[in-house]
Amino acid sequence: MIQCNATVVKAAYPAPMKISDFNCPFCASSYEVAESHSATGSPGRVECTVCGKVLDSWQQPRLKAYRLVLPPEHKYPRIPAPPSPEFNRSM
């Protein structure tokens, strides 16, 4: 359903593809996943291009494509929070 200027218009066809974000649970690389709803694929699995571990596996006949968006070495490093200020009341 698409809403344009307070008018509701129904789409004539379902979305042919679902795009989503996915992170490798082992090395935190960021991927974009495209899953087709109109084309039939086959069961399969995909491995992380950075660490080589299995990202995902599926048994349904799906057509999926994974694209590496951001490897972990290009992400901002995690910075610890600074210590809270201590007020010294030595007056």
Asked whether residue 89 is domain-assigned, the answer is: no
Note the pLDDT tens digit of each residue in 3-44. Answer: 444 455 555 666 688 999 999 999 888 999 999 888 888 899
Q: Which of 4-13, 47-56, 66-75 has the highest mean pLDDT?
A: 47-56
4 inside domain: no
* Cα gap 63→65, rounded to integer Å: 7
Average of per-residue pLDDT across 66-90: 77
Q: Sort strands 30-36 and 63-70 into parallel, antiparallel or unpaired.
A: antiparallel
Q: Is residue 24 one of the residues assigned to a domain?
A: yes
Domain that holds residue 45: 14-74
Residue 50 maps to a domain = yes
Strands annotated E in 14-91: 17-23, 30-36, 44-47, 54-58, 63-70
DSSP H helices in 1-91: none
| Phi (first) and psi of residue 73, to 5 degrees | -70, -15
Structural contact between residues 27 and 48, judged by C-beta atoms closer than 8 angstroms: yes
- Domain membership flag for residue 64: yes
* CA pair distance 19, 67, nearest whole angstrom: 11
Residue 3 lies in a domain: no
